[in-house]
Amino acid sequence: MIKDQIQKQESGNKSTNLQSKSIIIHQGISYADAKEIAIDVFKANIIRLSENASKLAVSRAEEMTDIFLEKLKKRSKKAIESMSEPGMQMALYSAQKEYVKSGHPVIRDFLIKFLIDKSESKYHSFESLTTDACIETIPKLTEQMINCITLVYAFRTATWKIKDNLQFERFYDQVIEAYLNGLLNNKNEYLYLTNVNCAHAYKNSKDSLENLFIDKYPGLFSKGFTNGQLKKIRKGKSMNMKLRKSYHFPHLLEFGYTRKQEIWDSFNSNEILDFFMKKLMDTKRVYEYLMKININTEALKSEWKQTFLKNLRLTNIGVAIAQANLDRSEIDCPELVDRKTENKL
């Protein structure tokens, strides 16, 4: 049951100015109650607009609210009941207000995604605070900037459980095709991402694109080794080693591991880890390999080398926006590595 305490102030011919006190919930709410709350809160707080602009604003707010509540209804009854919380009402109003300004469907979809995340998080938790920040931030970004953030996340921030070269090639190619248009026009646009708290800028970042991938997934760039070389490392010891034919040099062998952590977890041996790392291709060969996967690697490498792209390190807000963007894509993302289980090797 809803007790409505909205006060309406009439002002000027063909214009309205509405002011709200609160929406009081006396018991659990239904889908219809939630919709009524959402629209009443919006109407009660909308600034003075012309008659035509006011009608368009309400229309957009209702459109967004309908989509949001339909998605929320599919989650659970508890999710709908989150609309009784003042924090959730204010978050929805903030999202409505931003969508009303632009009418941009992409921004609308991001806002709805973050509202749903908020409905499922505890009050004033880290997750709830992050979604509030994302709702505030996403309207300040162009689609190109969102794609830039996603590109940085996919290749630098995230570490993926990539099983083999074929999975890496598919993922790398899909990310390049989807987000290469995220390369921004100048340094100021990259720095703007720091101004809206999506990223930090490291001044002295000199790592190359090739070394970035070598460091994350060295096993994908093995130049192979012989059985005789492996025996010297084993020193007659019986070891259950995961081996396979070298992807780049089929007449040789390579370890069936992608990351350094996998080698360490399997053998707990600096000697084997050093052997693994010494059998890697140089950056020239890695670049040639990336070019074979996608010819647009050249444009990415040039941008990486010459611009501020390589300096960006994402904040929690940037990470959340990038993950939301990947979720709405058709990219076949591998499973993420749990950073808590990764040592600094």
Per-residue pLDDT of the chain (345 residues; tens, 9 = 90+): 334 443 444 444 444 343 343 344 334 677 777 777 777 777 777 767 677 888 898 899 999 999 999 998 888 777 788 888 888 888 999 999 999 998 999 999 999 999 999 988 888 899 999 999 999 999 999 999 999 999 999 999 999 999 999 999 999 999 999 999 888 888 899 999 999 999 999 877 778 999 999 999 999 999 999 999 988 887 766 678 899 999 999 999 999 999 999 999 988 889 999 999 999 999 999 999 999 999 999 999 999 998 889 999 999 999 999 999 999 999 999 999 987 777 666
Task: Quote the pTM value.
Answer: 0.84
CA angle 141/293/342 to nearest 5° reads: 70
Structure tokens at 221: 């760039």
Residue 258: what pLDDT?
96
Domain co-membership, 129 together with 230: no
If asked whether residues 164 and 310 sit together in one domain, one would say: yes
Give the Cα separation of 215 and 319 in Å (integer).
21
From CA 150, how far away is CA 131, in angstroms rounded? 17
Question: What was the pLDDT predicted at 10?
Answer: 43
H or E stretch covering 201: strand 199-201
Question: Are 269 and 232 within one domain?
Answer: yes
Q: What is the DSSP letter of 104?
A: -
| Residue ranges making up the domain that contains 257 | 143-341
With CA atoms as reference, report the closest residue to 193 among 114, 138, 132.
138
Domain identity same for 79 and 181: no
CB 10 within 8 A of CB 16: yes
Q: What's the sign of the alpha-carbon dihedral 188, 192, 198, 200?
A: positive
**Confidence at residue 247, expressed as pLDDT on a 0 to 100 scale:** 97
Same domain, 256 and 231: yes
Of the candidates 59, 116, 77, which has an alpha carbon nearest to the alpha carbon of residue 328?
Answer: 116
The per-residue pLDDT for 160 is: 97
User: Are 196 and 104 found together in one domain?
Assistant: no
d(CA 307, CA 208): 12
33, 28, 46: which is closest to 93 by C-alpha? Answer: 46
State which of 123, 140, 157 marks the end of a domain.
140
Q: How many domains would you assign to the chain?
A: 2
pLDDT at position 81 is 80
Q: What is the pLDDT of residue 237?
A: 67
Q: What pLDDT does residue 238 have?
A: 65
Structure tokens at 279: 């059998």
Of 86, 113, 140, the residue that ends a domain is 140
> Is 56 in the same domain as 134?
yes
Residues 302 and 176 in one domain: yes
Residues 122 and 45 in one domain: yes
Element (H, E) at 215: helix 209-216
In this prediction, residue 122 carries a pLDDT of 85
CA dihedral (61, 66, 68, 73) in degrees, to 10, reads 150
Same domain, 163 and 204: yes
- d(Cα 169, Cα 94) in Å, to the nearest integer? 41
Domain end among 86, 109, 140: 140
Phi then psi for residue 6, to 5 deg, are -90, 135
Distance CA 110, CA 112 (A): 5
How many Å separate Cα 36 from the centre of its chain?
32
| Cβ–Cβ < 8 Å for 310, 155 | no
Q: Could you tell me if 37 and 9 lie in one domain?
A: yes
Work out the end-to-end distance of the chain between its first and last CA atoms, rounded to an integer number of angstroms.
Answer: 58
Give yes or no: residues 134 and 46 share one domain: yes
